[in-house]
Chains A and B, each alone.
Chain A
Amino acid sequence: MSMYQNGEVDPAVKALEARQDEILRKLYDLKAAVDGLAKTVTTPDADLDLTVSSSLSSQSPSSTTFTGVTNLDTLLGKDLGALRDIVINANPAQPPLTLMVLHSVLCQRYRVLSTVHVHSSVSNVPPQLLSCLGPRHADSYARQMFQLGVTLIWKDVPKLQMKFSVQNMCPIEGEANVARFLFKLLSPYPSDAALATLVDSWVDMAFFQLAEGSAKERAAVLRALNSALGRSPWLAGQEFSLADMACYCCVLQSGPASSTPSNVQRWLKSCENLGHFSPAKPFLQ
């Protein structure tokens, strides 16, 4: 925006600028809508109303997923007038891709203050890991303006660890468990117990068998994925869930399989179309 030496702005110019901004905004909205439509063509939930792409919150008006909960007070305990800071200790040898994805989705929902630190127990952390939560927020000097803090600390830990309320919570260990916690800030788990358990079991399978398992185990999981995806568009039925997020990251992380089954390939593409996974891309070989 232009500045005037005497600090005053001509009202006519101001109005003109406002109009121009408005038109630009409309154009952006339109472009987003078209992008969204283009994706629905290749994404299983054909009834998705993607007016604003890559935003989970407005993904589907019919589903409660991602829009059910917004009240952090009920989720994280009462507001003490200070930043609620979630601390994640991760080993730079194993960057937690799911958490980076979840973080970027959280950023679309809440005002999140993200910071990355290096603990003195490690040295020489690659530069891309230092900027893995995106560029520094312009308002980062005022911590109080944020609803949620995500503090990622690269540290020499055997297992990924999350610390939130040190007074009443023990540290949460394991990427899968931390992912479950963060995902619940976005949407409640399916209320159906069977479905919720199904999501949990896919998440376990992703982290224990896809990410850490042998080639044989991986192949078995891929087969299971393929048959599940033959029955429904997403792993836990009609809606995208943490199961898809975890499995997607772990499939890609375990390297390109020589023969990915066809349903899995279609599903990978659908996941890609959602646009959530770009933060994890730089860390995939």
Chain B
Amino acid sequence: MTKDEVQGATEEEQAQSKKGLKKQQKEAEKAAKKAEKQSKLAADQQGSEEDDFAKDRYGVPPMIQSQQKLDRVLVRVEDLSPEKADQLIWLRARVHTSRAKGKQCFLVLRQQQFNVQALVAVGDRASKQMVKFAANITKESIVDVEASVRKVEQKIESCTQQDVELHIERIFVISQSEARLPLQLEDAVRPDGEGEEEGRATVNQDTKLDNRVIDLRTTTSQAIFRVQSGVCKLFRDTLTNKGFVEIQTPKIISAASEGGANVFTVSYFKTSAYLAQSPQLYKQMCICADFDKVFCVGPVFRAEDSNTHRHLTEFVGLDIEMAFSYHYHEVIDSITDTMVQIFKGLRDNFQTEILTVNKQYPSEPFKFLEPTLRLEYTEALAMLHQAGVEMGDEEDLSTPNEKLLGRLVKEKYDTDFYVLDKYPLAVRPFYTMPDPNNAKYSNSYDMFMRGEEILSGAQRVHDAQLLTERAMHHQIDLEKIKSYIDSFRYGAPPHGGGGIGLERVCMLYLGLHNIRQTSMFPRDPKRLTP
């Protein structure tokens, strides 16, 4: 630096250069420390090579390329119970945390949502060097461990396996993790608010989603997606038992199914095509093709540019369509019963997972009635009116009113799940069957969980003539929906159905606040990766 330059420099720059100097100094100190450490480590290692009796009991074996097929049985962490006490077992798990304390090193070994405490202590099985090696294994590395199971006198509160600990006899690193993690798992599972009090870090949603692979390892995520898989299984099982047939429908379609807006256009050779907003058309065609009762689990696309807690651009739709005998309430009964079976199945079989999620995101247990409560739109309006909401008779429910209604229903009936029936015809799509007794209303219904809509359904018009009239009333270009209307010309049974968003059901059942938490790799207007 020349003198002129120094003179010309402002105070600020001086300050900066001072800061820079300090920084440099610090870095130099750091490097020196690092070098010291490394040399020490090297020395230690040299030392260990000299007199380590436990040399074969630890280390980094060659990468597993399927060289040998061992007859070794790897025990699962969740199966570690006092019954296994004093047995010598093998185990593969991640190093969740490690803490070295003089002659011993405590590890928490994690497998999915379960963890157990393990201990390497200097003795006749483990050498000083082995303890050192164990302490230096980076977090999230995968290790193979041979250990004996020991009962503990005091419960280990921080682990899921509270009654036993492992005394490690051998430890091998199968896959080493990089030392620096983009986020700490403990930070990611900390309940909201708790971190702030203790001055600890919390991880925000975007960081979690950017590093989804690591975030998905947290006990909370593990539990959420197990519950989600449960919802899918229960949905399938219940409907299959009711005589439904699972169908697969195309997702690349030639015309938008629910109006022209909100569809993704994709280039399709020389023309363009759309991504399906719902399998609606195909479900109905299957009904016309005598499949009677069908359901479909698959991706659904919405090109809505809404960045809310409950909208995704791609989600998994659980769709139902069924022919009924005389009254569309047969359809409502069938769908609500399916939902109740799902809730019951979750309540009875996924208690561990629900409790795990509740630890991070506390919420009231999900309540429901069997048979499901069904209210009519006019009743809902009367309840809202009593609560002081002014609303027109044929007006659609706004989101705040929807939530308020949910609270009112919860207060009176103590249920988080109910059906709202007989919506005004004006607010429903053209294929909705009008109410025979009152032209203002329709045979349509919504279902709500914790005051948020999860399903929208109706009896569909199965008469080509009436369908044409309704389409014209809605000013829809008849040419564009010709093939749809034509499917009903050759005899179509009366039918109805609805579609549920899997992510929404999971979110609301668990009482979570953001749908991205229940989507494994969420897609929204601002997120296309990972």
Binding site for B on A (CB under 8 A): 80-83, 85, 87, 89, 115, 117-121, 141-144, 151, 153, 155, 163, 165-167
Contacts and interface: CB of A to CB of B under 8 A. Distances in A.
Across the A-B interface, give the 3 residue pairs with the lowest CB-CB distance, nearest first: A82-B382, A80-B382, A117-B369
Interface in B163-177: none
Given A120-B347, A153-B414, A167-B386, A82 B371 contact: no
Contacts of A151: 373, 413
A49 B415 CA distance: 46
Contacts of A142: 437
B71 interface: no
Contacts of B366: 120
B60 interface: no
A87 B412 contact: yes
A141 B329 contact: yes
Contact of A120 (B329, B343, B374): B343
B379 interface: yes
B414 A82 contact: no
Contacts of B329: 141
A87 B381 CA distance: 18
Contact of A165 (B373, B379, B386, B414): B386
A60 to B, nearest CB: 36
Interface in B340-357: 343-344, 347
A89 B382 contact: no
A120 B368 contact: yes
Contacts of A117: 369-371, 373
Contacts of B344: 120
B382 A81 contact: yes
Contact of A155 (B343, B371, B373, B414): B414
Contacts of B382: 80-82
A117 B415 CA distance: 11
Contacts of B370: 117-118, 120
5 contacts: A81-B378, A82-B382, A83-B379, A151-B373, A153-B369
A82 B379 contact: yes
B376 A82 contact: yes
Contact of A80 (B365, B385, B415): B385
Given A141-B327, A142-B437, A166 B412 contact: yes
A153 B413 contact: yes
A163 B411 CA distance: 9
Nearest to A165: B386
A143 B387 contact: no
A153 B413 CA distance: 8
B387 A82 contact: no
A151 B408 CA distance: 16
